Structure formats: C-alpha cells, structure tokens
Amino acid sequence: MPTIELRTKIRAPKERVFDLARSVDLHKISTQQTNEEAIDGITSGLLGLDEWVTWRAKHFGVYQKLTSKITAFDRPNYFTDEMMQGAFKSFTHEHHFYESQNSTEMVDVFEYKAPYGFLGKLADKLFLQKYMTVLLEKRNMSIRDYAESQKWKKIILNER
C-alpha cells in the first residue's frame, strides 16, 4: 500500500493548526484548483468524530465524488479520516500534531490503494503518488498560510 508522509512546520499554536486541518471551509479554499466542493454531510465548519463529508472535485479532467469520515479524534493531537466511497480502492489519512519551540509540526500519513488492480498500480507509479503528494503539500501550505497570519480568524472564529 503506497504511503505519503509529509512534515510541515507551522509557527502557530497546535490547537489552531488542528482546527484549520479539520475545517471544511479551509479545505475548499486549499483545493480551488480542482473545483472541490462539499456537497453532502458536513458541508461547512469543523469536522468531528464520526462526522463525514462528500466532496465533488475535478481530477484528471473528470468530476469525481469522494466521501470521507473522521474515524479517530483526539483534539489537538491527532485525527484520522478514511474514505467511505470514492475513486480509490481505499485510503486512510492520519493527521498528527506536535508542539516544538513556539511552533507546531503537522505530520500527514496518507495510505491508499489505487483502484483497477495492475492498471491502478501502474498509474500510481507513473503519476498518482506524485499528484497526491502535490495536492497534500498545497493543502498544507494553505493551512500554514492561514495559521501564521490573521486569516485563521475568518475560518475558526466564524465556525464557532
């Protein structure tokens, strides 16, 4: 099973980074390049344990739907979301948050199985893993941008 692990250092409190990472609204902002929108479940605000969202997004020129659910949750240390339905055969995305010297280290562990057997494995080697890595990196840069500026207030304070 392919795994992508990313470490992002963010100069902001762990609680703020944690909440931004589970924000449906910031996710929409960070994935504008794929026209991602929340169409069912929790479509705005902060996701919590056992809550789910269905996303509609354009990847590789095709609109796709993906439903993920928060299956583990310990604020502000970690949460996990898992695909319930979607284009992958499966995925699990762990989000870990560690305090270190006036900053937070956000660690993503994204494990997935591509669909379509051998063809999916070939697609993974040719482009899928790189595509998903870039998508996650862009999302993390948005989280950092919002957490390290005053923009976080538009996302978090409006949601509470």
DSSP states of 58-92 as a string?
A: EETTEEEEEEEEEEEEETTTEEEEEEEESSSSEEE
Residue 93: CB atoms within 10 A of its CB come to 17
pLDDT at 26: 97
- At residue 30, does pLDDT exceed 50? yes
Residues 1-24 have a mean pLDDT of 96
- At residue 131, does pLDDT exceed 70? yes
Model's pTM, two decimal places?
0.93
